[in-house]
Amino acid sequence: MSMTRLETFVNLGYTKDPLKGKLHETGDMVRCRRILTMAVESRAMVSIVGDRGCGKTEAVKAAMERMDVKTIWPKRVDQENMTIADIKTAMILELSDENVKRGGIVSSAQLRRIVGTASGKRTAHGAETQIVVIIEEAQRLHKNTLRSLKTLREMDWAGKSELFTIILVAQSDPMNHPGVSEVRLRSDIVRMQGLSANEAAHYVRETIGKHFDPRAIELLAELPAARNYLELQELCVTLLNIALAAGRELVSVEDVRSVQPPEAEPVPRGQARGKQPAAPVSGATALQSVLNRRNGDAGGVPADGRASC
């Protein structure tokens, strides 16, 4: 029997998903913040590139929150069809009270005036206002949109050019098109490394660590899936499912061994690899025994974010 993520956490007594919420500072986040701080100061164009779920959006959001900047996130449901007109429209709507003509046609003069005026304003701290345009799923942008973005960033107002910063967030290099070398040469790229084993172990310990044998966390943190938040979360839920189905609330080392791909199994230093049997996944009966125990065990429910059901 396999439960969905939310059902698994409900059965463990949580009222909200414990894997979501508090951000953990990782090496990627620190690097991203440093580079984005510099990019904003220089009004540069920079791509943040990394696998799906490695934490790009969270890292960019966290970096922006720490800076005194005006962020613009142009969005479309069909992001692959994002055009320069969508980006210009988002800029006008975010930076002014002016209307955009039907069909999203924005005149260059209107945009220059609005962006130029907004970037010339002083913040409460007396600094120049920094405008940052952040485009997600940027690997899907058409090469013509990329070229127009470059031109847009170079527009000038009152003797100043490069009026704003562009951050492209992408799963692969957005400049990976023939014919955009003039854009590539004027932009920078930050590749996210993913979670280190220490960071992955810390994340599991701090979120659902009480349901894991400490040695199981160490083993789990070495797996390839633990380089990426989304995959790590999914793996944690799978392991919790296995433990619950076996009538336990604690994920064991054997549970982790049962899900790891054989070639990825890390061999602890100085120790031969022993073949462990997979944890039995016997389903409803074992799970019911955990739930019965939990329901009858009023005193044993931790208070931190977990319901006393």
Ligand X SMILES: Nc1ncnc2c1ncn2[C@@H]1O[C@H](COP(=O)(O)OP(=O)(O)OP(=O)(O)O)[C@@H](O)[C@H]1O
Nearest approach in angstroms of CB 26 to ligand X is: 5
Judge whether 157 and 14 are in contact, CB under 8 Å.
no
257-289 burial code (b ≥16 CB/10 A, e <16): bbbbeeeeeeeeeeeeeeeeeebebeeeebbee
Is 171 a binder of Mg ion (CB under 5 A)? no
Judge whether 138 and 169 are in contact, CB under 8 Å.
yes
Nearest CB to Mg ion, comparing residues 57 and 276: 57
- Count Cα atoms within 13 angstroms, Cβ side, for 245: 18
Binding mask 165-184 for ligand X (x = CB under 6 A): ------x-------------
Nearest approach in angstroms of CB 177 to Mg ion is: 21
Contacts (CB under 6 A) with ligand X, residues 90-129 = none
Judge whether 106 and 89 are in contact, CB under 8 Å.
yes
Number of shown-chain residues binding ligand X (CB under 6 A): 16
Q: Which residue is nearest to Mg ion (CB)?
A: 57
The one among 10, 24, 53, 57 contacting Mg ion by CB under 5 A: 57
Is 29 a binder of ligand X (CB under 6 A)? yes
Which of Mg ion, ligand X, none does residue 160 bind (CB under 5 to 8 Å by kind)?
Answer: none
Nearest approach in angstroms of CB 11 to ligand X is: 20
Tokens of 122: 């002083």
Which of ligand X, Mg ion, none does residue 13 bind (CB under 5 to 8 Å by kind)?
Answer: none
Nearest approach in angstroms of CB 73 to Mg ion is: 11
Binding mask 122-161 for ligand X (x = CB under 6 A): ----------------------------------------
Which of ligand X, Mg ion, none does residue 24 bind (CB under 5 to 8 Å by kind)?
Answer: ligand X
Contacts (CB under 6 A) with ligand X, residues 31-70 = 50, 52-58
Residues 201, 203, 206, 212: is their CA dihedral positive or negative?
Answer: negative
Is 194 a binder of ligand X (CB under 6 A)? no
Which of Mg ion, ligand X, none does residue 112 bind (CB under 5 to 8 Å by kind)?
Answer: none
Contacts (CB under 6 A) with ligand X, residues 217-236 = 229-230
Judge whether 131 and 69 are in contact, CB under 8 Å.
yes
Which of ligand X, Mg ion, none does residue 9 bind (CB under 5 to 8 Å by kind)?
Answer: none
Nearest approach in angstroms of CB 167 to ligand X is: 12
Nearest approach in angstroms of CB 63 to ligand X is: 11
CA distance 203 to 21: 12
Q: Which residues form the interface with Mg ion (CB under 5 A)? A: 57
Q: Which residues form the interface with ligand X (CB under 6 A)? A: 20, 23-24, 26, 29, 50, 52-58, 171, 229-230
